[in-house]
Amino acid sequence: MTEPEIHKGLAGVVVDYTAISKVNPESNSLLYRGYPVQELAGHRDMEDVAYLLWNGELPDAAQRQEFDAFERAHRALPEQVIAAIDLLPATAHPMDVARTAVSVMGASHPLAGDNSVEANMEKAATLFAAFPAVVAYDQRRRRGQALVEPRDDLGYSANFLWMTFGEEAPTEVVHAFDVSMVLYAEHSFNASTFTARVITSTLADLHSAVTGAIGALKGALHGGANEAVMHTFEEIGIREDESAEDAAVRAKAWMEDALASKKKVMGFGHRVYKSGDSRVPTMKSALDAMIEYYGRSEILGLYSGLETAMDEAKGIKPNLDYPAGPTYHLMGFDTEMFTPLFIAARITGWTAHVMEQVASNSLIRPLSLYNGPEERHVD
Ligand SMILES: CC(=O)SCCNC(=O)CCNC(=O)[C@H](O)C(C)(C)COP(=O)(O)OP(=O)(O)OC[C@H]1O[C@@H](n2cnc3c(N)ncnc32)[C@H](O)[C@@H]1OP(=O)(O)O
Ligand SMILES: O=C([O-])CC(=O)C(=O)O
């Protein structure tokens, strides 16, 4: 009998159809419901993209008005969620706080036991609306600051920054942040989305799927890479008064050492894209805008030094987490908050996949080839 072929990490395995996004490594493109992500990032905001991912079409004016009214009315954290967060030490990792908060949101949602299409849409929209307050509150309590209530006169991204920093962010910063949200929103069957689909396939509820997806996103090989990128910059040393050229020289030397000692450097490489991540040029432009806005050219030096050295040594290109990390740093987010920012955006993609899985479900249960001891018996 021939042994079945093992596909470690499910690499190259096509497990299902999806109409939500198309990742094309050959043309280096990414489409959300048919629209190139660069066009969405340039011309539409995160609210439009959330609506598109869930409904398959961009909203018209009336649909957008209705969507905004719902989203803005559900931004405040329920009391139980604040209480649950307060039970955790301020030193808890924000990904653990986020995972706990989503679980509490699920348990206390009025439609907790209802997995109907309508209930799932309502749960997805509620989670999208309220999750930014989890991130904002967590960053503030880590700094000993009080919760800032949401504002309903600001868009999603402007309000997110308002609740985090307690002041209105300049337009340039809101735009760069919104671009990052759009780019992070969806990416087909990545590890966390697949986790959400596996959980959904057992007929478990949407919040369970998102809670599990957060666990999968936390690791440094996936979403945790945006935090890890910043730790690399910190390890090299961020010197605000240094020239971009000097910073690049130090970064290049650091990368050469890291690769010589066979280190995996987070923020580089991708399972699907082999000649560069389709989202990086758009996110790099947003980073450039922030470097210019904050007058921090040494960050560009560190960025370019690492990128060039990796390319020269291994030909491996940056992924989205690479430009996103320093962008969030410049905006003033704590490094540990970066992956929760990824969650805020990806809630839209995950929940779109939950609904797609429900609509055409089959229990996800692959096979394995046993290679343990031969049958034996207890004496
Ligand atoms: C938004 C996202 O989630 S994007 C992904 C974020 N993750 C990261 O940035 C983590 C760092 N990158 C990696 O670990 C990998 O590139 C992954 C996990 C993303 C993709 O990996 P895979 O497709 O499984 O490739 P794999 O890890 O086998 O790498 C292939 C080769 O490239 C090397 N390589 C890949 N990425 C890196 C890296 N970041 N640093 C150094 N070497 C790398 C591997 O060491 C391996 O070399 P070898 O063949 O000599 O052993
Ligand atoms: O697709 C992947 O494997 C990881 C990724 O880039 C994402 O989830 O955005």
**Is-contact 109 120, C-beta < 8 A?**
no
The CA distance from 183 to 199, in Å, is 25
User: How far does the centroid of ligand 2 lie from the alpha carbon of residue 183, in Å?
Assistant: 11
Name the amino acid, one letter, at 93: H
Confidence at residue 24, expressed as pLDDT on a 0 to 100 scale: 93
Closest ligand to 186 CA?
2
**Set 109, 207, 321, 329: catalytic member:** 321
- The binding-site residues of ligand 1, defined as CB within 6 angstroms of any ligand atom, are 9, 221-223, 225, 264-271, 314, 316, 319-321
270 is catalytic: yes
User: How far does the centroid of ligand 1 lie from the alpha carbon of residue 126, in Å?
Assistant: 35
- The binding-site residues of ligand 2, defined as CB within 6 angstroms of any ligand atom, are 187, 190, 271-272, 319-320
Name the amino acid, one letter, at 112: A
Q: How many other CB atoms are found less than 10 A from the CB of residue 206? A: 30
Work out which ligand 1 atom sits closest to the CA atom of 342. 1
Same fold, 21-222+345-360 and 225-331: no
The CA distance from 347 to 186, in Å, is 9
User: How far does the centroid of ligand 1 lie from the alpha carbon of residue 199, in Å?
Assistant: 26
* Below-50 pLDDT ranges, the chain: none
The CA distance from 367 to 88, in Å, is 39
Confidence at residue 77, expressed as pLDDT on a 0 to 100 scale: 97
CATH architecture of 225-331: Orthogonal Bundle (1.10)
Work out which ligand 1 atom sits closest to the CA atom of 223. 3
CATH architecture of 21-222+345-360: Orthogonal Bundle (1.10)
**Is-contact 144 349, C-beta < 8 A?**
no
Strands 21-24 and 35-36: unpaired
In Å, what is the CA distance from 338 to each residue of 47, 50, 165, 254, 346?
Answer: 20, 20, 15, 23, 13
The CA distance from 225 to 321, in Å, is 6
Residue nearest to atom 9 of ligand 2 (CA): 187
The whole-model pTM stands at 0.98
Q: What ipTM describes this predicted complex? A: 0.98
Closest ligand to 258 CA?
1
Confidence at residue 27, expressed as pLDDT on a 0 to 100 scale: 87
The CA distance from 331 to 194, in Å, is 31
Supply the DSSP string of 2-34, one letter for each residue: PPPPP-GGGTT------SSEEEETTTTEEEETT
Question: 288 CB contacts (<8 Å, ≥6 apart)?
Answer: 300
- Domain spans of the chain, in order of start: 21-222+345-360, 225-331
Which of these, 358, 350, 365, 356, lies nearest to 18 by C-alpha position? 356
Confidence at residue 2, expressed as pLDDT on a 0 to 100 scale: 85
